[in-house]
Structures are given as structure tokens and as C-alpha cells.
Amino acid sequence: MRRKDVLDLDDFTADELREVLETTAAMKEVLARPIRRVPPLRGKTIVNCFYEASTRTRVSFELAAKNLSADVVNITASGSSVEKGETLVDTTRTLQALGADMVIMRHGASGAPYLVARELEASVINAGDGWHAHPTQALLDLFTVQSRLGSIEGRRVAIIGDILHSRVARSATWGFTTLGAQVVLCAPPTLLPIGFADAVNTGLRAKGIVTACPVTVTHDVDEALRDADVVMALRVQRERMDSGLLPSLREYSREWGITRERIAKARFGALVMHPGPMNEGVEISPEVAYGPQSVIEAQVTNGVAVRMAVMYLLAGGRAGPAV
Amino acid sequence: MSNPNNAIRLAGAHGRFLGSLVIRGGRVIDPAQGIDAITDIAIRDGFVEAVGVGADAPPGAQVIDARGLIVTPGFVDLHTHLREPGFEYRETIATGTAAAAAGGFTTVCAMPNTEPAIDTTAVVDFIHDTARRQGSVRVYVIGAITRGRKGKALADLVELANAGVVAYSDDGDCVTDSALMRNALAYSRTTGRPVVQHAEDRALTTGAQMHEGSVSARLGLPGWPRAAEEVIVARDCELAALTGAHLHVAHVSSAGTLDFIRRARSRGVHVTAEVTPHHLTLTDALVGGHWWSATASLPAYDTRTKVNPPLRETPDSLAMAAGLRDGVIDCIATDHAPHGITDKHCEYQAAASGISNLETALGSVLAVVHAGGLTLVEAIAALTIRPARVFGLAAGSLLPGMAGDVTILDPDREWCVDPAQFRSKGRNTPLAGHLLRGQVIQTIVGGEVICDRSA
């Protein structure tokens, strides 16, 4: 992979995505060994820089880095000089001076990792920035779908929930469409970002990807589910109700929640995904979340392998089973 | 339109500039007098004495050879953030007026979002006094509409007018309370000074970082919809109709806003409007940087693109030029908003809004002229007599007896924007590194050459 940073999937080619997925398969094989540790990042320092609360993503990156024999340092916004008012640019310069080889960054402000990547010689992996992007989450979604369904091209992926505030939806949309899938985004009108489908469709044409209608938008959940091979539910937060975007979670769950009755409208055997954490009974019912079509736990497991693959490739490793 | 015969003449601030000189052989464009001809201008003791071929040089006066150049009245900016008092690290009256001179502006109107806000006579006096001692150009003061610019209670509007403010504004913040805005407009009739509204319905722009559209959707930045401007302008037009007062709409950014202004005007409501150079020439695509255009000079999320109201889309910027042509928009105003490095070198969402504009304004406006969006005469009018008339300032024309404020420019001289060379402390411009065509050669205030690039 010839790039310094992984900030989003919008600038990935299909070949680059395939390289990551192939390498992830090799990392899965490493994870199946009795001793999961391999040496490619020995002596490298990886800084986990989390300005926003996160459990699964931070732990997933930490495990991935340790499995690759890197030294891992965790910085969280509380308990660091960030609390003393240190700016992001200051922190970045400090990381540079301390010799970090790779920085994993989670930040509440969209675009913050781009600022850091411009300042820093080290590689930056975006672990989620504001509403904008979460590329490793999207990569693990791609890997999960590829390994369960065998292919991504030509599949129909329904992403249902709070699209407006979702970095997962944005990155997943770029990832799936770049590999030739169609994505349908479904939400109440107040939770859909105006113009996003246009932006992606235009961006895909610029990349030379010519799928018919790669991204469409609907408010009708039944229409979104029709012929879907993959159904991804997104978390809907209680605060959306307080800010007037939704009348009530009850109404949301009745009109847009993924229930057993609704999932029957998708293609037989369609995969059910969720980036977590779930509001069971709101955007997804427990019998779907834990039912036979759910791959939600596999997503978490695959997350470690995908992050190992991304770090390995960024550090100069080559695709394939050579680890 | 205000009656130019009622022009305000302020005592004080401008006694310093009392030079004499003659400018020979330039193409003089003075839209106020309908002059567009190769001719001469004589300035004696600070005031225009004569315009015409062979106009006499006062004995011993400097002679400026303007052959091949364009000679216009000094530019007038109705919307300048000089930052002093309170934010001297961003700009001072000295540096801001030096930047104005460098950009061809001989008159600027200082916005009151200082610290303290310009809501008392003491602060007005301080600015007049500092400008007299340290200023490179003429400075008029805009007073706050509300006490402390807090949007709760009216400032002492008559007292402020008596101290010399030429307009009222809470710029940076919108007067959102409809009753308060009605009262401000009604009360302003006692002084005849316009009420300048920063039209932004805050409830629609909570957390907003840029124009709401496909670029903001892609970048995951909260959007500032056009409607947030339009609803306030629609409301304020009705309040201006109700009160008979003069409403001036600051920095129009949305094409739809023009429809409301046009409609109010057609009913005889006294509404004027301004547009900035950046809303005439730049769009939200710039915020998307390289992603949006392979030729973009900026990366995505470059905070130098952050400005309030935000850069909008191409149909909006085209509508702004059309609005200037047909008169719905009265004039160009820079909204010069200098910031310190730390205000901009941070996350997009943490960055301050604003562009340091005085020194690139002419180049931006001429880009519209070169592209055929405005004639040169229309552009010069929008920088001189038209803004002067909006605030009733005795400026913007070379009529004999007027102040001898002149801008000499070369509309074709190409130059690369290098913010390190700015006179302004604010280096925050998305045009850094851009090639502009059109540069100020000399700026003359009261017959004194304040800025000179003729060498």
C-alpha cells in the first residue's frame, strides 16, 4: 500500500481495498494460531490517541498493534495535557518529537486527523473523526461481507439509521461502492445528510467507477430492505430526540427499527450488521441482533485482523500470507 | 438610496491628510460623475480641486504619471474588522488601515465586535482618536445595536450617533429577537443611520461550520443552510417596511436572499445590501479541497476557507455578480476579518471564521470583471460611490471639493498572493499562493501618497 495515512476510504482504489482484504485474511490465520504474536512491527511505537470515549475501537487497535509486536502507548483526552488546554497541534508536535511511528486517532471534530496527518511525518490512521469517517470500521464490514457472501460486487447494502451523524455510514458507503456494490441509505428525513449521495456518486465517477446508481436514498425502510444482501443498522441516540430531530425513539423503532418481520423483506439469508454499541429494541430488535443472520460478533472479531492488516501494510508490509 | 446631499461630514478623524499633487494621463473612472476618460486630477491641500485635461498642479506639488493606469476615487469599505480595542494580536487600527491602503481603500468603517464592544461614546472616541494618530486611511465607526452586542437591550443609539457612528450593527451576531429588531429599526429613525444586520437564524446554524450541501455532507461538517440567512432577511424587510427605517443587509451569501430584497425594494422599503469579494468568487468546493477539484490549491478542511456566512455554491456567486449589475446589491464590502495563527491553526470546528480581505479585494473583484461578470465601471462603482451612498459618507467621488482620496490601479498586473507580505496582521486567506490579476499601484489619501507600488 503506497500511502502514508489511512484517513478515509474515499481515496482508496478497488485494488487497494482488495489488498487490505487479502492481508486481513492472512491476519485471521495468525489470530487462529496458539501464539498470536508476529514480529513485523517490533521496535515500532504506536500511539493510540483517543479524544473521544471508545472501548471497542481502542482495544481493537491496541490488540492489533500488540499482535504485531509494536509498543503501544494510549493517550486519552482526560488525564493528559489535553485537559490543561494543550491544542491538537501542540500534541501532534509532541508526538513527532517523541518519535511515534504511527498514530491512531479518534477525535470528535470532523477532519481533525487530516490536520494531524499534515503536521506529522508518522502514519496516521483515522479511528473515527466526528461525523466524517471511520475507515477501519468500513474495512472490517467489507471483510465480513466478503468472507460471508464470497463477493461484494453487485451486492445491495442497506444502511438504516442515523446517517447524518454517522462516520460509519459515510466510510462504509465509499468502501462498498468502490468495490462495485450498491448502497441504499435509509433514515427519517431529519437524519439524512442533504447531498451526500450526490457527493459520493460524483466522487465515484471521478474514480472511474461506473456502477449504475451506486448510492440511493429513501425514507421507506421496506424499500431499503427490498433485495438487500446486507442490512446495516446504525445506532440512534436518545439525544437526537432532545434536539428535535426525532419525535420519539418509540416512533423511530416502529417505523425504521429492524425487526424479524422487516428483515424477512430482505433477500433470503441477508447479513445483519451493526457497528455497535447497539440500542436493542430501538434500531434493531434483540432477536435480529442475536439471530442466525447476525454477523455482529464476527464484525468485532474481524476488527482486530483488519487493523493488523492496515498497520502492517502502512509499515511497508506486502499483501499475502507471508506474515 | 440615501440622498448624497445629506452626506455625513465628520469632524475630527480626517484633518491630517492635507497634501497637494496632480495625477496626469490616467484613465479616470469616476462613476459618480459619469467620467470615464483619459484626463488629469489636481488635489490641493487635501481636496480635489479640478478634474480635466491640463488640470493645474499647485506650485511645487508632486506630479504622478498615471499613463496606462486607471485612476478612481479611493475605495470605501463599509465592513472592516479592525479588532482594536481588545484583539490587538489579530489587528490594530494602525495595521488594519495600512492594509486598507495597500488594498486601495481610503475609507473604512470599523465594525463594533471589539472588546469592549463599540456601544459607548468612550469607545467611539478612542477609535476616532487612535485612527487620527495612527491610521493610514479614514476611519468611520459603526456602533453596536445592542448593549454589549448581547442582543438583549438597545445601546444608546442617539448618543452613539452624536459621537459620530455612521451605522449600527451587532455584526458577528444576528439580532434574532424580532421585537428588539423592530425597536432598533424604529429608534434608528431618530438618527437616520442604517441598521446593519448579520442575517443568521442561530437556531438553524447550531454548530454549523460551512454551507449545507453535498460538500458538507461528504466532509461530515454541520451545515449552514441558505434558509438561515433568508428567513432573517425576509423578516427584517417586513420590519423595515413596518418602521420605515433603513435596513442594510451585511454580506449577502445566498441567491434566494436577493429575491426578498428585490421584493421589498419594489414596495418602496429602504433596504440596501452588500456582498463580499469571497462570496462573489469562491464556493464551498474550496472546503473540500483536492477532493473536489484536482487543481485545488488547498487540502480538505483548510480552515482558511471558514467564514461566516459560509462560501456557497456557483449559482449563488453568479447571482451575487448579477445582483451587483442590476442594483439589488448596492456595493462590495470586504468583511475583512483578520485572525491570529492560533485562531486558524486548529481543527476546522475550533477555527475562527473570517478572511483577511482588504489586500486581495481588488484582485478578487477584477477576477469577476475579467471573466465578464461585471464591467470595470460597475466594479469601480461598487467599490466607491455606491458604498458611500449607502452610509451617506462624503467619499467615493472625485467631484471638486471632495476629499482628495484616489486609487490608481493596473487591472492587468499579475501578482501572487503571499500573506507574509500583508500589511494586515491577519494572514488568513484561502487565496494564499493564488495568482491575481489586477493590483493597486498607488493609494492617495487627502493628496498624500499612502501606498506606492509604482517603483
Environment class of residue B52 by beta-carbon count within 10 Å: exposed (0-12), middle (13-18) or buried (19+)? middle
Q: Mean pLDDT for each 10-residue chunk of chain B (455 residues)?
A: 39 68 97 98 96 87 96 98 98 98 98 98 97 96 98 98 98 97 98 98 97 97 98 98 98 98 98 98 90 69 97 97 98 98 94 98 97 97 98 97 97 96 98 95 97 91
Widest CA span of chain B, in angstroms? 66
Instruction: Give the pLDDT of residue A318.
Output: 79
- Of A87, A194, A202, Cβ closest to residue B346: A87
pLDDT reported for residue B290 = 67
pLDDT of residue A131: 96
Is residue A180 less than 8 Å (CB to CB) from chain B? Answer: no
Tell the residue number behind the cell numbers 492560533, with chain if given: B342
Output the pLDDT for position A241.
77
Positions of E strands within B258-397: 271-275, 331-332
**Helix-then-strand count for chain A, H and E:** 13, 9
Sequence-ordered alpha helix ranges (H) in B224-313: 226-243, 255-266, 277-281, 285-288
Residue spans of chain A under pLDDT 50:
none
> How far apart, in whole angstroms, are the C-alpha atoms of residue B240 and residue A321?
74
Please provide the DSSP assignment of B46-71 as one string.
Answer: TEEEEESTTPPPPTT-EEEE-TTSEE
B296 C-beta neighbours (distance < 10 Å), count: 16
- Catalytic residue (one of B171, B335, B405, B410): B335
Probe site for chain B from A114, A116, A190 (most B CB atoms < 10 A): A114
CB B328, CB B262: distance < 8 Å: yes
Question: pLDDT tens across B243-260, in order?
Answer: 999 999 999 999 999 999
The partner residues of A105 in beta bridges, in order of sequence, read: A49, A126
Cα distance between residue B384 and residue B77, in whole Å: 8
CATH for A14-134+300-314?
A: 3.40.50.1370
Buried-state track B383-422, b at ≥16 Cβ within 10 A, e below 16: bbbbbbbbbbbbbbbbbbebbbbbbbbbbebebebebeeb
Cβ distance A115 to B347 less than 8 Å, yes or no, reads yes
Separation of alpha carbons A199 and B218, rounded Å: 6
Indicate the residue type of A143: F
d(CA B33, CA B39): 14
Residue numbers in B near A198 (CB within 8 A): 214
Pairing of strands A102-107, A123-129: parallel
Determine the Cα–Cα distance for residues B114 and B94; give it in Å rounded to an integer: 15
Identify the CATH class of A136-296: alpha beta
DSSP A247: S
Q: Which of B215, B283, B301, B346 best tests the A interface by mutation, with the highest count of A CBs <10 A?
A: B301
Burial class for A21, CB neighbours closer than 10 Å (0-12, 13-18, 19+):
buried
Q: What is the pLDDT of residue B327?
A: 97
Cβ-Cβ contacts under 8 Å, B298 against chain A = none
Is the CB of A110 less than 8 angstroms away from the CB of B348? Answer: yes
Chain B contact for A189 (CB, 8 A cutoff)? no
Q: Pick from A254, A262, A256: which is nearest to A288 by CA?
A: A262
User: Which grid coordinates belong to A246?
Assistant: 426525532
Whole-number Å distance between alpha carbons of A136 and A168:
9
Residue B335 a catalytic site member: yes
Identity at A250, one-letter amino acid code = R
Q: Does A129 touch chain B (CB under 8 A)?
A: yes
Residue A127 burial (CB < 10 Å; 0-12/13-18/19+)? buried
* A117 to chain B: closest CA residue: B299
Q: Give dist(CA B118, CA B80) in Å, integer.
A: 14
Q: How many CB atoms lie within 10 A of CB A35?
A: 7
**Cα–Cα distance list, A51 to A65, A129, A314 (Å):** 19, 10, 23
**Which residues belong to CATH 3.40.50.1370 in chain A?**
14-134+300-314, 136-296
Give which of B218, B295, B302, B312 to mutate to test A binding, by max A Cβ within 10 Å. B218
Structural domains for chain B: 74-397 (3.20.20.140)
Confirm or reject contact between A281 and chain B (CB < 8 A): no
Contact, B264 vs B246, CB < 8 A? no
Q: pLDDT value at position B14?
A: 53
- Phi-psi category of residue A169: left, alpha or beta, with phi > 0 → left and psi -120 to 50 → alpha: alpha
How far CA A80 is from CA of A54, A72, A90, A119, in Å, comes to 16, 16, 12, 20
Q: Which helix (H) or strand (E) holds A233?
A: strand A230-233
Chain B residues with CB within 8 Å of chain A CB: 209, 212-223, 291, 299-301, 342, 345-350
Q: What is the pLDDT of residues B138-186, one digit of tens each?
A: 999 999 999 999 999 999 999 999 999 999 999 999 999 999 999 999 9
Residue B58 has what pLDDT? 79
What element of type H or E holds A289? Answer: helix A286-289
What is the rounded CA–CA span in Å between residue A165 and residue A236? 9
Q: Widest CA span of chain A, in angstroms?
A: 56
Residues B31-54 have pLDDT tens digits of: 999 999 999 999 999 999 999 998
**Cα A55 versus chain centre, distance:** 14
In the prediction, which pLDDT does A81 show?
A: 66
